[in-house]
Structure 1
């Protein structure tokens, strides 16, 4: 099937979804969650074939981790879908209403975007997360994953489409592109007339390719060059636990920390404690001269590119700074606008950091790993936007809708 034909089918399905009740959508979501559990063995078999092919093709351990499904991860995906079903439906929500002097009554209401396209790489859970949010918000979706996860993505699609059919909703509300060549990505980027918005999820190369080449509207999800700054007033034990979690809990995701900034007045006390924890996960440290003087020669010397790199691996750049303002300036220069953290016991410093750091999510005394739709209470996420128009941060149901003005009159003319 061509991308053009998929677009036509998605457009037809979107018209149906826009009119169905919240109850119908929720029942379909619960049916999909049940089907995922029932078909777990089939999904895991398809995923095992993807993982085997990935290893043969030389994927890194971090990318294999992003690709791999387990019974626990499938259960988490199904649970997330149930959580989405339990969330309030944004469609039909009244944002505002007012009456003009001429008697016109104007209502600003939430409606679906229509057809949402998503281009993503090696995380097959995106297939289900994206489909569940699109369905709840009344949108049809066309999902184009990478070749690394194609068997897993198609297995998920078969399960979800079957559950949709049994629920009385159009199967074509969820479609997965089987062609993983660049041609299919290029066609999706130019699917004007059918695609209402395109969302890329993946590395910097993919995102920039979509931004630069798409002729349809794009919501840019961002590379996660995230920082943790340890202020001079920080609780060192808390700070060590936060950077350990932010870096090592799952380094292959966009909300993992990539750079640790440490105030000079706490560096000697803090850095050895942090290194001891990070060593338990064999995290490679790349430090400036001050860091290497404190921690010793097994710390690799940092180069300029390290400050701007999203490693997505067990690698952490480390720098000692003279002040809070220097930390903020470093983040402004190298950060990607995703997630930034300060660890501090000083209220004034925390408020200064919150106010001055320009990012989608800014934390005080908490890991950057919480920048996630599920952790924010959205059930799942369609992506994490680092741009400022339409959506910013984890995009849940509300970000998958737009507005329609409904105006009631009694014969007014202008």
Structure 2
């Protein structure tokens, strides 16, 4: 077992990691190009997440540097109590111990998610996808260099070069201690991990996010929020469904304008029965489409009776990730936000802000759609468990 590294060592490793990423920038991009060239799949969102350019390296550097500047999340007192028998009782945050991150395609996870887990005092096990193997191995080599520079064991960050069968065997009978698993990827990966894991799993669930344009909407805000929601189709915080209030003034004109703006951005627009007929769109094949997360240049527009109906529809079909209401009526917005069963709810703002960095956490390990242990973006301060410290001088019960 690795003894908890001091906060100074953890911070220094992160700062060295930031320096090494900058120094090896050209090499990382060049190695990543090999991974991109070798990718033969047709999943455009997977390819988008695979690619590393200067901006992506900058983001990794910012993440490592910012993590080094944050308070230690381990050992924070959450509760204290003086027992009548004189014992002093504390409850403090504690690291999980060992965190396995299983992810597809995204080499930046090798820095950002691993960095959060490392700063929280955990040993990191990384299992990336085969499509990003070379990029990941290069970044892990930099982790090892940073650890060695500060006399820390390279065991703190370990890359598991497993195929699917080996991964399944490891999940079912781990050959080393694993306290928590975080799958980062599509629904198939998450289902695979849930099926085989023998320890707790944080579910970073599907997106399938909705925007409800209420009858008192500012339509310019509606256009901005919906188009921004489709600006990065590979993101789990992207918008896939738009519900338009049937009593919106100039509704037909609004939907027509929205369709032409989306099509100008090369987005395929589908409609429910009413919208498809009235606006000459392809109709969705069945109601099951409302459940789908597209991760594609695709969106569905439907009509809805009112706020109550939109809440019911979103709660039935969405992935529990993010939903937004566009309205100038604060009372209506409050009812929507209190009753939508999603990790993040928005009033007149884009769902694209469901992100640890954007919501003030610095970065995120994942965006959880589970209600335990933490919901929404999981930042540094959430990647801890807790532990009771009890000080006595011979008390017995």
With the shorter chain as reference, the TM-score category is over 0.9
TM-score (normalised: structure 2): 0.96
Aligned to 2:263: 279
Q: Tell me how far apart the structure 1 counterparts of residues 286 and 169 of structure 2 sit (CA, whole Å).
A: 35
**Other-structure match for 1:261:** 243
Local SS of the residue matching 2:167: helix
Write the distance in 2 (CA, Å) between the matches of 1:107 and 1:192. 34
Secondary structure of 1:342 counterpart: strand
Report the CA distance between 1:170 and its aligned residue.
1.5
RMSD: 1.5
- Of the three residues 10, 22, 40, the one matched with 1:37 is 22
**Which runs of 5 or more residues in structure 2 are unaligned?**
none
**Aligned-partner SS, 1:363:** strand
For the 8 Å contact 2:273–2:283, the answer to whether it is kept is: no
Q: Which residue of 1 aligns with 2:33?
A: 48
Which of 155, 163, 167 is the equivalent residue of 1:172?
A: 155
1:89 is matched with 72
SS at match of 2:310: helix
Question: Would the alpha carbon gap of residues 336 and 190 (structure 1) be closer, same or farther in structure 2, given more than 3 Å must change?
Answer: farther
Distance 1:409 1:58 in 2: 61
Q: Give me the whole-angstrom Cα distance separating, in 2, the residues matched to 1:270 and 1:294.
A: 12
Contact 1:191 1:216 in 2 (8 A): no
State the shift of 1:281 in Å: 1.5
Contact 2:229 2:352 in 1 (8 A): yes
- Report if aligned partners of 1:119, 1:185 keep a CA contact under 8 Å in 2: no
CA gap 1:189/1:164 in 2 versus in 1, 3 angstroms: farther
Deviation at 1:64, TM superposition (A): 1.3
1:213-266 deviation digits (Å, cap 9, x = unpaired): 21122111111111111111110000110010012x211111111111111122
Partners of 1:190 and 1:239 in 2: CA distance? 50
Structure 2 SS opposite 1:175: strand
Pairwise mapping of residues 1-400 of structure 1 onto structure 2 (< 5 A)? Answer: 12=1, 15-16=2-3, 18=4, 20-54=5-39, 57-191=40-174, 194-247=177-230, 249-266=231-248, 267-297=251-281, 299-400=282-383
Q: 1:179 to 1:304 in 2, by over 3 A?
A: same
1:189, 1:214 within 8 Å by CA — same for their partners in 2?
Answer: yes
Q: Distance in 1 between matches of 2:247 and 2:65?
A: 48
Normalised to the residue count of structure 1, the TM-score between the two structures is 0.92
1:396 to 1:257, Cα distance in 2 relative to 1, 3 A: same
C-alpha distance in 2 between matches for 1:168 and 1:300: 62
